[in-house]
Amino acid sequence: MVIEIPEFIVPFLPWIRGTIGLSLVGLIFIGAMGAVWLERKLSANIQSRMGPCRVGKYGLLQLVADAIKLFTKEDLRPLNADKLLFNNAPIFIMASVFLVLVAIPVGAVFINGTEYPLAVTEMDISVLYIEAMSAISIFGIFMVAYGSNNKYSLLGAFRNFARMVGYEVPLGITVVSVAVMTGSLDIVEISRAQGLIWNIFLQPIGFFVFFVAIMADMGRLPFDQNESEEELIAGWITEYCGMRFGLSYFAEYMHMILGSFLIALLFLGGWNVPAFVANNAVLGLIAPTGFLLVKVVFVIMVIIGLRWAIPRFRIDQVVDLSWKRLFPLALLNLVWAVGLGLYLGA
Amino acid sequence: MDVRKIIESLTSTFPEAISEAVVESEIRARAYVDKEKAKEVCQYLKDSLQFDHLCSVCGVDYIKRNEFEVVYHIASYDHPVVLTLKAALPRENPEIESVVSVYWSANWYERETYELFGIKFKNHPNLKPLVLPEDMLGEWPLRKDYEGFPNKTAKNLV
Amino acid sequence: MEEKLEANEMIIHLGPQHPMQPGPFRLNLRLKGETVVGADIELGFIHKGIEKILENKTYLQGITIVDRVCYLVALVNEECFIGCAEKLLGIEPPARAQYIRVILEELTRIQSHLLGTGEFGEFIGFVSMFMYTIREREDILSLIDMITGARITHSYLKFGGVRDDLPEGFKERAIPILNKVKKAVDDFDQMFHSDRIFRERTVGVGVLTADAAKSLGVSGPVLRATGVPFDIRKNEPYLVYKDLDFKVCTETAGDCFARVQVRLNEIRESIYIIEQCLDQIPDGPLFPEGTPYGRRTPVMRVPAGEVFHRVEDPRGEMGMYMISDGSDKPYRVKIRGPYYPTLQALPPLIIGTTVADVASISGSMDGCTSEADR
């Protein structure tokens, strides 16, 4: 879907895209810090204690203090660890995040009634691209776990593989069923085509399967066997110190934010607002983006709350859940989506 | 079960192994047992008199009498009597048969008695030090003439 | 455990420092993939030599040391030690002191079970459970603090009685707190029953039959969860337990879920016992009349003899064998901790399960390594 662009902007388009991309990189770091703060405060509320409350008002600067601490720690490497894998693993972990980031629209602005989605690139196959790029992080995880020369990390990596293999399949099928009903793989198109009837109402089973599968993909409790603290010390990042640990830790929260964006765009209606808001000059600039961000924050809070409310599965129960229960449900949803798509299209 | 009946049954079944049997109260009794027959007495207690719970196995150093004692406390899950059996061993070369085949939980108690006193338990499946570090094997800390490790500066030992 | 490793086996240490343990011990696991095929425990990281120390300290100094056998349930350790010495001395504390001792020991049992349940929740990933039980435990500790003056390692019991009387208004402070804890235990019970993931992690995991438990020598909630109603407070009652009405909590399944259930039920029974004590407690002296034993204990020479005394610790059966030779220091004290045989029974129980289940089973045993090592 090509959008009309005024003539005088065309030479500057690469610069504009580059600027948006760089600012998005900075914004996602800030977003990850905000997500960590939100998790600590929310978990403290659930457990009836206070979270960070000393550094800055409401502890908002706590993450800045933590980042300073992580930067100034000594960077240790075990003697027998594989140098190449150990040193370069964070590159893969962060690369996955940034590659996905370029395709996700973080909002939209309505100028004179036309809609300009805020994304670095708009591709015709952006949903497929996002799913492919998000699977790169598994390389980084295995590089760390294998290169650390540590048995706990190795056990964590094995569990990670079992989990990822099981949950990528229902994830992909659910995304395909949404795309089939819309008729396009472009995420902007899927989000726009929902109008005011969100996909969660049209495909409730699909939403449920997608939510569980993406929580397993992100490695959040109840699916965090690879870093389960109680059995494996810290799982795959046991040997990481200082900012390497910081990058891996933040990468988990960035994945969480990106996953929440996906949920909000694919199933919760994206940035669609009623027509009278879109035609308004001032509201058209801020309301759609704001609405999307509100939905994303709500989804993040639900994911955080789930982590602290339930215990953790055992790894064989996780694999059981994905192959025996989610996979048939996803197939069922695909059939339903095809039928619904034909009916609505007719 | 009545405590007196238990003592009578013991003394009648093992007349030469059990000596100086004393009934202290309704639920406590003690007796000396010959060290060669300790395992047989335990087997008899477990099979016939329902004593199926071994409370502990410990050692005591009677330096004035120049002997060690291995003390078994045997109780039951059904009745409240606790029987204390004591086996006297010479201080030079203390050895006694292990009761692990009768009571499974005696395994660690005997390992600990070995490393604290130096009493060897024959036919024990795994007689290694349990609570002390490996380099303290041979020190036998709980004996009354123990002098300290690694500096021999322990004082006031009775 | 020492045989040559095959191609896909590895040895992993759930080592002395681990977030999963109640205290330092080394659990060597031999894994094939995620299944445990061999296990071995090494102890001794927190061995303090208490039995040797006790031979060189007087009886009064010994009370403070026996506190530290297991610092979480210090009052029960003191009760065992003092019970031995009182039997040798031939004295018995008066009724009021006995009721105060029972109140304190039941409060200790409640707070130990709360901590054990919270830790078990934490080991299987349910971190919030730990926070909730600790919150209730704070109120119980404040009650104990009101009476004894300390939260752990109290040194409060004395030969023939207790050090101080109950403070003014204790009953009015205690009853609302006990009601709050009772309601919280009902909440925990309902939480455990309704949580599907919790049941999948604990039901059918680490099953012990009654015969296996008896032959392994375990005692306490682990044994009562298999159906054997063995409780020292009923078998050989000490203090005023024969005048109190309570029942022994048992379950029949013998798995981790049953052990948690037994502990929650025992908290309810302990609250009931404390309420009865607060109703029935008589006025009277704190030390036996006509004897020199009092708040200022004289130099005590205990008559020669030997005794074996057992009490019901929150974790099982605790016993002490004390030999005295007539002087003011014990000749030999042997401490039989309740967690020692349970820890010994852990390696055979975890063979064939996965690493995740090791956390579950070890947490449901609710241990304190300090008392296994002494």
Q: Residue B157 pLDDT > 60, yes or no?
A: no
Q: What is the pLDDT of residues B51-69, one digit of tens each?
A: 888 888 988 988 888 888 8
Indicate yes or no: CB of A314 within 8 angstroms of CB of C198: no
Q: For the residues A31-48, what does the mean pLDDT come to?
A: 88
Interface confidence (ipTM) of the complex:
0.89
| Chains sharing 3 or more CB pairs under 8 A with chain B | C
Pairwise CA distance, residues A239 & A76, whole Å: 8
Structure confidence at residue A1 as a pLDDT band (50, 70, 90): very low
Asked if residues B86 and B33 have their Cβ atoms less than 8 Å apart, the reply is: yes
Q: Does C44 touch chain B (CB under 8 A)?
A: yes
Q: Does A193 touch chain C (CB under 8 A)?
A: no
Indicate yes or no: CB of A151 within 8 angstroms of CB of C122: no
Q: Does C339 touch chain B (CB under 8 A)?
A: no
Residues facing C309 on adjacent strands: C320
How buried is residue C279: exposed, middle or buried, by Cβ count under 10 Å (0-12/13-18/19+)?
A: exposed
**Would you state the pLDDT for residue B126?**
84
**Would you state the pLDDT for residue C142?**
92
Structure confidence at residue A226 as a pLDDT band (50, 70, 90): low
Q: Does C198 touch chain A (CB under 8 A)?
A: yes
Element (H, E) at A40: helix A13-46
Q: Does C57 touch chain B (CB under 8 A)?
A: no
Q: Does C12 touch chain A (CB under 8 A)?
A: yes
Read off the tokens for A199.
């996909």
Output the DSSP codes for A312-340.
---HHHHHHIIIIIIHHHHHHHHHHHHHH
Q: For a pLDDT cut of 90, what percent of chain A falls above it? A: 2
Give contacts of B58 with chain C, Cβ < 8 Å: 321, 334
Who wins on pLDDT, B84 or C125? B84
How many CB atoms lie under 10 A from the CB of residue C78? 26
Q: Does C95 touch chain B (CB under 8 A)?
A: no
Q: Domain B3-136 falls in which CATH fold?
A: Beta Polymerase; domain 2 (3.30.460)
Q: For a pLDDT cut of 70, what percent of chain B falls above it? A: 96
Pairwise CA distance, residues C258 & C252, whole Å: 7
Read off the tokens for C23.
């205290």
Indicate yes or no: CB of C374 within 8 angstroms of CB of B56: no
Question: So where are chain B's domains?
Answer: 3-136
- Domains in chain C, CATH or no CATH each: 9-42 (no CATH), 50-373 (1.10.645.10)
Of A159, A228, A315, the CB nearest to C125: A228
Do the two chains A and C touch, given a threshold of 8 Å on CB pairs and at least 3 pairs? yes
Minimal CA–CA distance to C266: which of C182, C366, C201, C151? C182
Of A151, A225, A312, the CB nearest to C10: A151
Pairwise CA distance, residues C29 & C13, whole Å: 6
Q: Does A219 touch chain C (CB under 8 A)?
A: no
Do the two chains A and B touch, given a threshold of 8 Å on CB pairs and at least 3 pairs? no
* Residue A312 three-state SS: coil
Indicate yes or no: CB of B73 within 8 angstroms of CB of C336: yes
H-state helical runs in A104-136: 126-134
Per-residue pLDDT of chain C (374 residues; tens, 9 = 90+): 666 777 778 888 887 877 777 788 888 888 887 788 888 888 888 888 898 889 888 888 888 899 889 888 999 999 999 999 888 888 888 999 999 999 999 999 999 999 999 888 888 878 888 889 999 999 999 999 999 888 888 888 888 888 888 888 888 999 999 999 999 999 999 988 888 888 888 888 888 888 888 888 888 899 999 988 888 888 888 888 888 888 898 888 888 899 999 999 999 999 999 999 999 888 888 888 877 777 676 677 888 888 999 999 999 899 999 999 888 889 999 999 899 988 888 888 888 888 888 888 888 888 888 888 88
Read off the tokens for A13.
């388009």
| Cα dihedral value A59, A60, A63, A65, nearest 10 | -70
Pairwise CA distance, residues C300 & C305, whole Å: 15
